[in-house]
């Protein structure tokens, strides 16, 4: 799965809390079920999660 914020600008529902200066690329190698669970967490009016979500992330360059 790859997200590009430029594409999100055209969608009605997106990551509104981002300032549109981010281009986010990511690929889920395994654990798509976890991504689905994260997408279902309760959020406030600005779409920020009520409870913090902590992730261990590997950055490859």
Return the percentage of the chain with pLDDT > 70, whole number: 59
* Number of domains observed in the structure of the chain: 1
**What is the DSSP secondary structure assignment for residue 12, as one 8-state letter?**
S
Q: Domain of 38?
A: 1-61
Task: Read off the pLDDT band of 5 (50, 70, 90).
Answer: very low
Indicate the average pLDDT of the chain.
74
The predicted pLDDT at position 50 comes to: 94
Task: List b or e across 3-27, with b for residues whose CB sees 16 or more CB atoms inside 10 angstroms.
Answer: eebeebeeeeeeeeeeeeeeeeeee
Q: Between 59 and 54, where is the model more confident?
A: 54
């Amino acid at each position: 799965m790859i997200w590009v914020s430029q594409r999100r600008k055209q969608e009605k529902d997106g990551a509104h809390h981002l300032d549109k200066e981010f281009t986010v690329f990511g690929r889920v190698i395994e654990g798509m079920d976890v991504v689905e669970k994260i997408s279902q967490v309760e959020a406030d009016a600005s779409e920020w999660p009520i409870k913090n979500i902590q992730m261990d992330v590997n950055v490859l360059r």
